Amino acid sequence: MLDVWRTFKFYGYRRIAAYSQQTDGPKVSEYMTLKLMRELGNKSRMQKRYRKPKTVVTVDQKPNLLTPEQVNPPKFYYTLTFTDYFNVGKLLAS
């Protein structure tokens, strides 16, 4: 197990246990691998995960002009964008 840890520093106890099950060496369970790693003081080198930088909003949010009271049937309302308008015009022309 110590040889596996020396060659694969990023392997944790689960990967080392799986590696020992696949190879011809002694078969060691996950729990036994964890105990041995604690006794020997072996720790896997964890890769730091990328954290997306947080954005700071300095502008106030625009008010929501469409309120639930203005919508007649529940959860149903029409919105129209310029792309919808021009696409409908092309469909009518053809």
Residue whose C-alpha is closest to residue 18's, from 4, 36, 38: 4
> How large is the average pLDDT for residues 58-70?
75
- Residue 74: what pLDDT? 60
- Residues of the chain with pLDDT > 70, as a percent, come to 66
Residue 84's pLDDT is: 54
Q: Whole-structure pTM over 0.75, yes or no?
A: no
pLDDT tens column, 8-52: 777 888 888 888 888 887 888 888 888 888 888 888 777 677 888
Query: What are the residues whose beta carbons fall under 8 Å from the beta carbon of 33, sequence distance 6 or more?
Result: 1, 13, 14, 16, 17, 20
